[in-house]
Structure 1
Amino acid sequence: MDMERWDAFVRSVQRMEWNDYAIAFAIFLIFLLFRKLFTRYIFKMVVKMSRKTPTEVFTNVLLAFEAPLRLFWVVLGTYLALVYLPFNWTTVEFVKHLYRSIIIILIGWGLYNYTSTQSMVFVRMARKVDIDEDSMLVPFLSKILRFTVVALVIVVVAGEWGYSISGFVAGLGLGGLAFALAAQDTIGNFFGGVIIITEKPFSKGDWIKTPSVEGTVEDITFRSTQIRTFEDSVITVPNSTLANEPITNWSQMNKRRITFSLGVTYSTPREKLERCVRRIDALLRSHEEVDPDVIMVHFSEFNDSSLEIFLYFFTKTTVWAEWYRIKENINLEILKILEEENVHVAFPSRTVYFEKEERPFDLEDEPAGKE
Structure 2
Amino acid sequence: MGNFSWQEPFGISLLDWGITAGLIIVSIIGAKVIFWLLSKVVSKLARKTKSQLDDLLIDLLEKPIAYIIGSFGIWKSIDWLQLGETGQGRIDKIFFIVLLGFVAWAITRTIEALIESYLVPIIEKTESDLDDQLIPILRKVLKSTVWIMAIILGLNNAGYDVGAIVAGLGIGGLALALAAQDSVKNLFGGFTIFVDKPFKVKDRIKISGFDGSVEEIGIRSTRIRTLDGRMVTIPNSKFSESAIENISSEPSRKVVLNLGLTYDTDSDGIKKGMELLKEIVSSKNGVDEKVVVGFNAFNDSALNIICVYFISPGADILGVQTEINLEILENFSNAKLDFAFPTQTLFIEKDN
In the alignment, structure 1 residue 67 sits paired with structure 2 residue 66: no
Give me the whole-angstrom Cα distance separating, in 1, the residues matched to 2:146 and 2:211.
Answer: 38
Structure 1 or 2, whichever has the larger Rg, is 1
| Superposed displacement of residue 314, structure 1 | 0.7
Give me the whole-angstrom Cα distance separating, in 2, the residues matched to 1:164 and 1:97.
Answer: 16
My pick for the range that moved more, 278-287 or 93-102, is: 93-102
In the alignment, structure 1 residue 212 sits paired with structure 2 residue 210: yes
Equivalent residue of 1:313, what SS? strand
Equivalent residue of 1:70, what SS? helix
5 Å-filtered alignment, 1:228-267, equals 236-262=233-259
Q: Give unmatched runs, 5+ long, in structure 2.
A: 84-89
| Superposed displacement of residue 67, structure 1 | 0.9
Aligned pair count? Answer: 321
1:281 corresponds, among 274, 278, 286, to 278
Give me the whole-angstrom Cα distance separating, in 2, the residues matched to 1:256 and 1:100.
Answer: 61
Give me the whole-angstrom Cα distance separating, in 1, the residues matched to 2:163 and 2:76.
Answer: 34
Tell me the residue number matched to 2:86: none
Question: 1:143–1:64: structure 2 CA closer, same or farther, 3 Å change rule?
Answer: farther
5 Å-filtered alignment, 1:128-207, equals 144=138, 147-161=141-155, 162=158, 164-174=161-171, 181-193=178-190, 196=193, 200-203=197-200, 206-207=203-204
For residues 5-32 of structure 1, give each alpha carbon's deviation from its aligned partner in whole angstroms, at most 9, with x where no partner exists.
Answer: xxx69x99xxx99xx9999889757754
For residues 284-316 of structure 1, give each alpha carbon's deviation from its aligned partner in whole angstroms, at most 9, with x where no partner exists.
Answer: 345564323352454656578x7765443112x
Letter in 2 for 1:212: F
Letter in 2 for 1:70: K
Give the alignment's TM-score, normalised by structure 2. 0.63
Q: Indicate if the aligned counterparts of 1:193 and 1:239 stay in contact, CA closer than 8 A.
A: yes
Q: Indicate if the aligned counterparts of 1:208 and 1:247 stay in contact, CA closer than 8 A.
A: yes
Give me the whole-angstrom Cα distance separating, in 2, the residues matched to 1:156 and 1:330.
Answer: 69
Q: Indicate if the aligned counterparts of 1:116 and 1:142 stay in contact, CA closer than 8 A.
A: no
Tell me the residue number matched to 1:110: 110
Q: Indicate if the aligned counterparts of 1:97 and 1:160 stay in contact, CA closer than 8 A.
A: yes
Tell me the residue number matched to 2:313: 318
Give the alignment's TM-score, normalised by structure 1. 0.60
Give me the whole-angstrom Cα distance separating, in 2, the residues matched to 1:255 and 1:141.
Answer: 34
Letter in 1 for 2:61: P
Q: Indicate if the aligned counterparts of 1:115 and 1:142 stay in contact, CA closer than 8 A.
A: no
Question: 1:228–1:37: structure 2 CA closer, same or farther, 3 Å change rule?
Answer: farther
| Superposed displacement of residue 103, structure 1 | 2.9
Letter in 1 for 2:326: L
Give me the whole-angstrom Cα distance separating, in 2, the residues matched to 1:84 and 1:302.
Answer: 102
Give me the whole-angstrom Cα distance separating, in 2, the residues matched to 1:102 and 1:231.
Answer: 57
Question: 1:206–1:281: structure 2 CA closer, same or farther, 3 Å change rule?
Answer: same
Q: Indicate if the aligned counterparts of 1:112 and 1:150 stay in contact, CA closer than 8 A.
A: no
| Superposed displacement of residue 119, structure 1 | 5.1
5 Å-filtered alignment, 1:86-125, equals 91=91, 97-116=97-116, 118=118
In the alignment, structure 1 residue 43 sits paired with structure 2 residue 43: yes
Give me the whole-angstrom Cα distance separating, in 1, the residues matched to 2:225 and 2:242.
Answer: 18
Equivalent residue of 2:243, what SS? coil
2:326 corresponds, among 332, 343, 348, to 332
Question: 1:289–1:219: structure 2 CA closer, same or farther, 3 Å change rule?
Answer: closer
Q: Indicate if the aligned counterparts of 2:64 and 2:102 stay in contact, CA closer than 8 A.
A: no
1:293 corresponds, among 265, 287, 290, to 290
Give me the whole-angstrom Cα distance separating, in 2, the residues matched to 1:233 and 1:39.
Answer: 56
Give me the whole-angstrom Cα distance separating, in 2, the residues matched to 1:234 and 1:106.
Answer: 45
Equivalent residue of 2:289, what SS? strand
Give me the whole-angstrom Cα distance separating, in 2, the residues matched to 1:289 and 1:109.
Answer: 51
Tell me the residue number matched to 1:363: none
| Superposed displacement of residue 241, structure 1 | 0.8
